[in-house]
Amino acid sequence: MSVILVLCLVGQSSAAEVSHDRTDLVFGRGVEEFAMAATTDPVRVIPEPIRGLMARLGDPSWRRRDTATRELQAAVASDSRWLFWGRHDPDPEVRLRCNALLRRLHPCRGCRGTGQSRNWDAWPCWDCDGTATAWPYSMWD
């Protein structure tokens, strides 16, 4: 019985591959929220074209919102820190789309974004609890 348990544990986790993505993201969020608190007008700090794209995330037309989401994803693919600023937008649609982009841009490396364990898909990934993303879901998003 213990051999099976050990094999399952060894197959589930490999210390070299388990990333610290979630920790990095939470730290990055803390840094950006600290910088945000130090500014008097956070919206002006966000550079163009990211600021304009974020404003379009709350457009009444869903086509424009989706287009802006795709363009914003391309714009922040290498540096997603501005999405943390968008998480504090007064428009809930902007907040929702910024969180969705954070999840899409940071898939869980433990399961390679599948949400399934590497052990015959017997249970959800332990790193991300089956969410397939390094950015955790929260009821406060």
Which residues of the chain form contacts with Zn ion (CB under 5 A)?
A: 108, 110-111, 125, 127-128
Q: How far is the CB of 92 from Zn ion (least distance, A)?
A: 27
Q: How far is the CB of 117 from Zn ion (least distance, A)?
A: 8
Between 58 and 110, name the residue whose CB sits nearer to Zn ion: 110
Q: How far is the CB of 132 from Zn ion (least distance, A)?
A: 6
Between 56 and 106, name the residue whose CB sits nearer to Zn ion: 106
Q: How far is the CB of 36 from Zn ion (least distance, A)?
A: 29
For residue 128, the 8-state DSSP code is T
Between 21 and 89, name the residue whose CB sits nearer to Zn ion: 21
Tokens at 138, concatenated: 């929260």
> Hey, which residues does 133 pair with through a beta bridge?
107
Helix boundaries (H) for 1-141: 2-12, 21-38, 42-45, 50-56, 62-75, 81-86, 92-105
Between 99 and 117, name the residue whose CB sits nearer to Zn ion: 117
